[in-house]
């Protein structure tokens, strides 16, 4: 079974650079407090590390 992580958007991307908005879109996040489940790979961990001020990793 593949390991997964749950990612939650906790802050709005308003007034953030376009590059950070594209990272959120790539993760599949559109709404505030939305939670998505993604594979726990280096790619998704790197995306989370690009915008840690907007996201939270949920258990």
Q: Domains of the chain: which residue ranges?
A: 4-58
pLDDT score of 59: 81
What CATH number was assigned to the domain covering residues 4-58?
3.30.1390.20
Q: Which residues, other chains included, contact 45 with Cβ-Cβ below 8 Å and sequence gap of 6+?
A: 5
pLDDT tens digits along 4-51: 999 999 999 999 999 999 999 999 999 999 999 999 999 999 999 999
Surface-to-core class of residue 36, CB atoms within 10 Å of its CB (0-12 exposed, 13-18 middle, 19+ buried): middle
Whether 1 has a pLDDT exceeding 90, the answer reads no
Q: Could you give the 3-state DSSP secondary structure of residue 8?
A: strand
State the alpha helices, DSSP H only, in 1-59.
18-27, 42-50
């Amino acid at each position: 079974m593949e390991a997964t992580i749950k990612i939650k958007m906790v802050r709005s991307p308003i007034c953030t650079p376009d590059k950070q908005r594209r990272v959120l879109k790539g993760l599949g996040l559109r709404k505030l407090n939305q939670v998505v489940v993604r594979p726990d790979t280096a790619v998704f961990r790197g995306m989370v590390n690009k915008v840690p001020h907007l996201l939270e990793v949920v258990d």
